[in-house]
A and B are shown apart, each in its own frame.
Chain A
Amino acid sequence: MKANTHFAFFDEGSKKEIRRAIMKAVAIPGYQVPFASREMPIARGWGTGGLQITLSIIGKPDVLKVIDQGADESVNAVSIKKLVHETTNVELTEQTSEATIIQSRHRIPEVPLTKDQIIVLQVPTPEPLRGVEAREFMTKRMHSEDDYSGVWLMLFEQIMKYGKTATFADHPVYVNGRYVMAPSPIPRFDNNKMHQSESLILLGAGREKKIYAVPPYTNVESLAFEDYPFTVESFEGLHCHLCGSTDIFLDELMDQQTGITIHQCNDTSFCMDQLNKKEKAEVQTSYA
């Protein structure tokens, strides 16, 4: 009864099916391609969409990095990495620049990605119109008719209510001037990194059975009005208490002893890099 697991878990037929969906997604930027999402050894809603993409595109020479909430060591990232490694034996890394495939939940790394890299984003709710219209049947029609008045109205209502747009993470974006897309719950801070990205961005929603993509060098605009422009999370005047970086996405931490709020790089591998660079510089100057 005991059987060895196939390379990259899936049988070849399944991988081929998923790759076809990916090809279609790349050909129609921002369009949600339905695909036969498989049940995975990790739970639905824990990144199965991303995992299915990763397993379908990964080859033996690939180097994989998995991030969850900006951290390589986060519980779910560890578990996904372990699963891919056990079934493929590919090399793992925490260095953003070394990876060929980066699977991520909720963040795009601080270091700019290159054309040799693919970033796979896990998406819990791929439908940007879901808040406006509950029925899939209707949202599909709205996408096909380029009818995005609902989302615009949602932003407008926020301005009327709060005096500014008040979306959280997952601020909707226009892709290639045609489809409105949920960029996966990345903070608004990361939305701009999708615009004219050098690397291919693949987005997978396992439970909702959708794959979509932003091909390299594609226009991605965050929805906003001229007089109420798109704004990102503000970390003005704050810096990482470890490496001192500014202009990056920061986690807010409470120092348990003193009760003081401190901030720290959310992207842990970026933070580590900065620290290493600093140390190197210090060593060099002291020798000099």
Chain B
Amino acid sequence: MGYVPVKGGTQAIDASIQRIKYERLRGEEIVDIETIMSTMRGMVDQVMSESSLYSPYLAALAIKQAEGSMEEAVFLMRAHRSTLPRPYYSQTVEPEKMFVERRISASFKDIPGGQLLGATYDYTHRLLDFELIQENLDDNLQWLQNYQDQLKQIEAFDEVKYFPKVVDYLREEGLFETYEADNTSPIDVTKQSLQFPTTRSERLQVLTRGQTGAVTSLGYASLRGYGQVHPTVGEVRVGSVPIYVQHPNEMEHSDEDEFYIGEIKVTEVESFVPTTVKNENNEYELEFEIGYGICYGQNETKAIAMSILDQCLEHPESDFPTHDEEFVLLHIDSVESTGFISHLKLPHYVTFQSKLDSIRQVKKGVPTVES
């Protein structure tokens, strides 16, 4: 048969798949799922967050399979998610009940309950640690033992202590408006497609599923001037929250009958944003509003950026693109954006032929337009 540049051909595809396997194996090293899970927390958390599937083990598996490529790992997890039935919605999670590991406020030094620095890179120097090249398990175990011994001497609380929300304290002072809790069931964006204008529940879901880099970039853009939201971080908290589901068939409902199905680690951010509002006398007044961000695992940058975008989208009247919900919500999804960009690698022979035809016809000369 003649020269056919169109076909990839089944054999060529098989060979390509063999080749990618070869590239993964050729280094002759193997990394265990458990190793990824315990040593690459940041990546596992990001993959879980962007794929909106909370499973550190599967996220680690995806990272292994994807050879560490974030977009690929998220893609694998999202595809797996599509095979899972979604039988229940959880009860509303109360972040006040969070088992806090880290909690800071950039707004107030003296927050009720105190600041709890927890584990973070924020206060480290970003110098390459060449000792990690020689890291060995025995030394690590020794260090762990010492650390845990020290911990035992410090821990003194008899009971579980919950930290109050910074904003509650400010509400008492009348600096924030108190809103009635909105208990309408959220719209599940994975079961219903977005319709514009959206509800806040939809916006928050899309933002929290958003690609970490994209959410960060757009949040940053707003901060730099392509937006009108420049917040102060009121509170960042990282910790575990319990998840409960209600019995699906019970008519009567009491908290006692709820099923505890486990806990998830989340990062929650409340940003304080000064906004101008018009009062009854048509005068401008300053008021604080809250931008809210939450995501799986520990990913403070994303949660803060989400809180900025949440506020941006609450105020769509601005001319800036970061305030345009269609612009923000339709472009930050990892799977959607990488998928469509990468589809440009597919052949476009038919559409291009069609373009060629039109351009040639137009160039060929035009019958004079009759007036």
Residues of A within 8 A of B (CB): 1, 3, 5-6, 9-14, 17, 34-41, 43-46, 48, 68-71, 73-76, 78-79, 106-107, 124, 134-137, 140, 159-160, 162-164, 166-170, 185-189, 207, 209-210, 233-234, 241-242, 249-253, 255-256, 262, 264, 266, 268
Q: Are B7 and A74 closer than 8 Å at their CB atoms? A: yes
Q: Which of A48, A209, A242, A250 contacts B194 (CB 8 A)?
A: A209
Q: Are B351 and A39 closer than 8 Å at their CB atoms? A: no
Q: Are B13 and A78 closer than 8 Å at their CB atoms? A: yes
Pick 19 A–B contacts, CB within 8 A, sort by A. Answer: A1-B57, A34-B193, A41-B79, A45-B343, A70-B349, A73-B8, A74-B6, A75-B346, A106-B351, A137-B197, A163-B367, A166-B362, A187-B353, A234-B361, A249-B353, A253-B3, A256-B3, A268-B6, A268-B7
Q: Are A135 and B196 closer than 8 Å at their CB atoms? A: yes
B195 within 8 A of A: yes
Interface-centre pick from B6, B78, B326, B354 (highest chain A CB count, 10 A):
B354
Residue of B nearest to A137 (CB): B196
Q: Are B192 and A44 closer than 8 Å at their CB atoms? A: no
- With A34-B193, A43-B343, A169-B351 already in contact, the answer to whether A79 and B82 are too (CB < 8 A) is no
Q: Which of B57, B343, B359, B366 contacts A163 (CB 8 A)?
A: B366
A166 to B357 CA separation, bound complex (whole angstroms): 9
Residues of B within 8 A of A (CB): 1-10, 12-13, 57-58, 61, 75-76, 78-79, 81-86, 188, 190-197, 326, 330, 335-336, 338-343, 346-351, 353-359, 361-362, 366-369
Tell me how far the C-beta of A230 lies from the nearest C-beta in chain B, rounded to whole angstroms.
13
Since A10-B83, A249-B353 are in contact, a sample of 13 more A-B pairs with Cβ atoms closer than 8 Å, ordered by chain A residue number, is A3-B83, A13-B86, A44-B335, A69-B348, A74-B8, A76-B346, A78-B10, A124-B340, A160-B369, A168-B358, A250-B353, A264-B2, A264-B4
Q: Which of A37, A40, A76, A253 contacts B5 (CB 8 A)?
A: A253
Q: Are B346 and A251 closer than 8 Å at their CB atoms? A: no
Tell me how far the C-beta of B355 lies from the nearest C-beta in chain A, rounded to whole angstroms.
5
Residue of A nearest to B367 (CB): A163
Q: Are B340 and A207 closer than 8 Å at their CB atoms? A: yes
A255 to B5 CA separation, bound complex (whole angstroms): 10
Tell me how far the C-beta of A103 lies from the nearest C-beta in chain B, rounded to whole angstroms.
14
Q: Are A164 and B3 closer than 8 Å at their CB atoms? A: no
A136 to B331 CA separation, bound complex (whole angstroms): 13
Q: Are B356 and A187 closer than 8 Å at their CB atoms? A: no
Residue of A nearest to B51 (CB): A39
A41 to B339 CA separation, bound complex (whole angstroms): 11
- Chain A contacts for B193, CB-based, 8 A: 34-37, 209-210
Q: Are B358 and A39 closer than 8 Å at their CB atoms? A: no
Q: Which of B7, B326, B354, B356 contacts A73 (CB 8 A)?
A: B7
- Chain A contacts for B355, CB-based, 8 A: 168-169
- Chain A contacts for B8, CB-based, 8 A: 73-75, 78
- With A36-B191, A135-B326, A164-B361 already in contact, the answer to whether A252 and B336 are too (CB < 8 A) is no
Q: Are B191 and A45 closer than 8 Å at their CB atoms? A: no
A123 to B10 CA separation, bound complex (whole angstroms): 24
- With A78-B10, A163-B366, A187-B353 already in contact, the answer to whether A242 and B1 are too (CB < 8 A) is yes
Interface-centre pick from A48, A70, A73, A264 (highest chain B CB count, 10 A):
A73
Tell me how far the C-beta of B205 lies from the nearest C-beta in chain A, rounded to whole angstroms.
12
Tell me how far the C-beta of B162 lies from the nearest C-beta in chain A, rounded to whole angstroms.
34
- Chain A contacts for B10, CB-based, 8 A: 73, 78
- With A5-B83, A74-B7, A163-B369 already in contact, the answer to whether A68 and B346 are too (CB < 8 A) is yes
- Chain B contacts for A185, CB-based, 8 A: 350-351
Tell me how far the C-beta of B332 lies from the nearest C-beta in chain A, rounded to whole angstroms.
13
Interface-centre pick from B61, B76, B330, B349 (highest chain A CB count, 10 A):
B349
A268 to B193 CA separation, bound complex (whole angstroms): 37
- Chain B contacts for A162, CB-based, 8 A: 362, 366
Q: Which of B1, B326, B356 contacts A134 (CB 8 A)?
A: B326
Tell me how far the C-beta of A122 lies from the nearest C-beta in chain B, rounded to whole angstroms.
10
A164 to B330 CA separation, bound complex (whole angstroms): 34
- Chain B contacts for A106, CB-based, 8 A: 350-351
- Chain A contacts for B190, CB-based, 8 A: 36, 38
- Chain B contacts for A210, CB-based, 8 A: 193
Tell me how far the C-beta of B99 lies from the nearest C-beta in chain A, rounded to whole angstroms.
27
Q: Which of A9, A12, A71, A136 contacts B82 (CB 8 A)?
A: A9
Tell me how far the C-beta of B77 lies from the nearest C-beta in chain A, rounded to whole angstroms.
9
Q: Are B79 and A74 closer than 8 Å at their CB atoms? A: no
Q: Are B6 and A46 closer than 8 Å at their CB atoms? A: no
A137 to B329 CA separation, bound complex (whole angstroms): 13
Q: Are B351 and A168 closer than 8 Å at their CB atoms? A: yes
A160 to B196 CA separation, bound complex (whole angstroms): 35
Q: Are B347 and A68 closer than 8 Å at their CB atoms? A: yes
A39 to B351 CA separation, bound complex (whole angstroms): 26
Q: Are A17 and B354 closer than 8 Å at their CB atoms? A: no
- Chain A contacts for B78, CB-based, 8 A: 39
A78 to B75 CA separation, bound complex (whole angstroms): 20
Q: Which of A43, A233, A234, A241 contacts B339 (CB 8 A)?
A: A43
- Chain A contacts for B336, CB-based, 8 A: 44-45, 207
Q: Are A14 and B349 closer than 8 Å at their CB atoms? A: no
Q: Are A44 and B196 closer than 8 Å at their CB atoms? A: no
Tell me how far the C-beta of A255 lies from the nearest C-beta in chain B, rounded to whole angstroms.
7
Q: Are B339 and A137 closer than 8 Å at their CB atoms? A: no
Tell me how far the C-beta of A205 lies from the nearest C-beta in chain B, rounded to whole angstroms.
10
Tell me how far the C-beta of A264 lies from the nearest C-beta in chain B, rounded to whole angstroms.
7
Residue of A nearest to B82 (CB): A38
Q: Are A69 and B367 closer than 8 Å at their CB atoms? A: no
- Chain B contacts for A74, CB-based, 8 A: 6-8, 347
